[in-house]
């Protein structure tokens, strides 16, 4: 698998580029800022046969500013990509300008959402197979995105947990639509039910494992 992580913006969001080595079809998870850096990294990546990557989806774990601020610019460059988000975060997404205003940023209005994530939906991009897990609590439309193992393309199991679960911590619940009890339920029922050895790549900070958080996370173990 082709895999590149870029830490973007003042909030240090973990943005990922993931691509199928056979077809070059790619997804970008959480293009939260620094569109130029993201596009530069994307254009430097090639398939083993030398093909450019072609982005099919911009996946968003949720619609806070630090996960969506570069979406417009990346989408305008990658014309065959689709902006994907859970419906329950559409209000937040539409308020991008207002979210930016709180930090003194003058952002453009967001482009339309082109794909609404459904809970337990499967999305295939070349040989990459993703499933969507609705994990509200940090925001109403928060999702965790599971990448399924595929040994043929050397794809390893991975969970992109957004701001739902961090190494040793959890997402804040004091922002619009946040709910602590719902967040804990999402983590316990939907993430801790996965295999212990699945790596978790949060929206910020270092990676961890499902099993480590299950045993040691002080908020929900
Ligand atoms: Zn967030
Ligand atoms: Zn965040």
Domain boundaries of the chain, sorted by first residue: 2-216
The sheet with strand 158-162 has its strands ordered as: 122-125, 128-134, 143-147, 158-162, 199-202, 208-209
Q: Residue 168 has what pLDDT?
A: 97
Domain 2-216 has CATH 1.20.1200.10: no
3-class secondary structure, 38: helix
Expressed in angstroms and rounded, the spacing between residue 138 Cα and the centre of ligand 1 is: 7
Q: Residue 221 has what pLDDT?
A: 76
Expressed in angstroms and rounded, the spacing between residue 152 Cα and the centre of ligand 2 is: 33
Expressed in angstroms and rounded, the spacing between residue 72 Cα and the centre of ligand 1 is: 18
Expressed in angstroms and rounded, the spacing between residue 133 Cα and the centre of ligand 2 is: 17
Cα–Cα distance for residue pair 198/212, rounded to 1 Å: 10
Task: Give the number of the ligand closest to the Cα of residue 143.
Answer: 1
- The pair of structure tokens assigned to 34 is 């620094």
Q: Residue 91 has what pLDDT?
A: 97
Cα–Cα nearest to 67, from 124, 14, 125 = 14
Task: Give the number of the ligand closest to the Cα of residue 33.
Answer: 2
Q: Which residues contact 122 (CB under 8 A, 6 or more apart)?
A: 129, 130, 131, 132
Per-residue pLDDT of the chain (221 residues; tens, 9 = 90+): 999 999 999 999 999 999 999 999 999 999 999 999 999 999 999 999 999 999 999 999 999 999 999 999 999 999 999 999 999 999 999 999 999 999 999 999 999 999 999 999 999 999 999 999 999 999 999 999 999 999 888 899 999 999 999 999 999 999 999 999 999 999 999 999 999 999 999 999 999 999 999 999 999 87
């Amino acid at each position: 698998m082709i895999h590149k992580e870029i830490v973007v913006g003042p909030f240090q969001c973990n943005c990922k580029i993931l691509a199928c080595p056979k077809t070059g079809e790619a997804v970008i998870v959480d293009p939260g800022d620094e569109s130029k850096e993201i596009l530069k990294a994307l254009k430097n990546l090639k398939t083993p046969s030398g093909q450019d990557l072609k982005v099919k989806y911009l996946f968003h774990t949720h619609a806070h500013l630090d996960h969506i601020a570069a979406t417009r610019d990346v989408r305008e460059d990658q014309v065959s990509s689709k902006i994907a988000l859970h419906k329950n975060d559409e209000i937040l997404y539409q308020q991008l300008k207002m979210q930016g205003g709180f930090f003194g940023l003058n952002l453009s209005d967001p482009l339309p959402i082109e794909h609404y994530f459904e809970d337990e939906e499967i999305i295939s991009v070349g040989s990459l197979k993703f499933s969507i897990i609705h994990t509200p609590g940090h925001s109403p439309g928060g999702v965790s995105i599971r990448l399924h193992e595929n040994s043929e393309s050397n794809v390893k199991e991975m969970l992109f947990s957004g701001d739902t679960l961090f190494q040793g911590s959890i997402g804040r619940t004091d922002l619009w639509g946040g709910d602590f009890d719902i967040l804990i339920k999402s983590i316990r029922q939907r993430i801790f039910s996965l295999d212990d050895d699945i790596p978790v790549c949060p929206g910020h900070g270092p990676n961890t494992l499902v099993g480590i958080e299950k045993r040691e996370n002080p908020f929900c173990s």
